[in-house]
Structure 1
Amino acid sequence: LAAIAGGVIVSLLRGETPGILQPGQPYALAYNMIWSLDQPADDKLARVVSTRVGNLPHGGWGQLYWIDFAGAGLGQRNPDNLAPQIDVGPGAKLLHQTLIRHPGIDGWRVALQVEGEAPPEGLAKPRPVELRVRLRDGYEPVSETWVYTWLQ
């Protein structure tokens, strides 16, 4: 028995006895679904523990972001070697970035100011811009990658 959405199999059930499920016949099924907010993490990489988003203080086509990273000994890393790697997709540009020690979580906060382009006249839909941030120690990644789609 398969559930198909948009041409993709999204669930598949296989009984213990092949051929027992017949088309057009009702069947009672029971299952358990388990999930959690925390996903298994690579304990060698710091994790994103919070994200905050705000508007520019004087309006305009932009956003402010504060991304907090913690774990994997991140708070003890040498700040001279630590740097954010920031990628801003087409349709926006990075105006300002700051890396701040965050002793409350024994980690670091990346603060960003991103400015988007004014939308073309008559554009009815928001335009997506993908933002990505991760921390590096030299060339070595030391955090997971934060990914955010900004609909400007």
Structure 2
Amino acid sequence: MAVREIRVFGDPVLRRVCDTITKIDDGLRQHVTDLLDTVAFDGRAGLASTQIGHNVRAFSLHIDGKVSYILNPELEVFGEPVPTGEGCLSVPDLWFQVQRYPKARVTGIDLNGNKVVIAGEGLLAQALQHECDHLDGKLYIQRLDAAQRKQAMKQIRESAWF
């Protein structure tokens, strides 16, 4: 089991746009194992590559007791955005309302190069959007309005982990 340290707000890797995966090799296979091992704890819904210090388009999910992953996800969203309570492993102990679409789908590949589609609503839709944001170098607090973002930054500065 290879549980990796989760990078937190302030780490520059979290702001990087991830590279498309062009080669599936042993290094990538180990990275996916690390993603799966690190996300497989209660209270963790998803984990993107940047959160464990890598810059490739991959993330893992842990929804309804099922652990999965996807490489090179392309996101589609459906419906009208609604306020959704959200937190992030990379911004511990904060929780804010973020506008998220009620349904989402990602299309990508697995480690064998086979097409993978993950689609859903509720927590799954939220996690798909949240993790794709990470792969684009965005944290959920960047989606907050100015007043909420100011409050979040104050809480971050006052936190024990910052």
TM-score bin (small chain): under 0.3
Instruction: Name the TM-score, length of structure 2 as normaliser.
Output: 0.23
More helix by share: 2
For the pair shown, which has the larger CA radius of gyration, 1 or 2?
A: 1
More strand by share: 1
Instruction: Name the TM-score, length of structure 1 as normaliser.
Output: 0.24
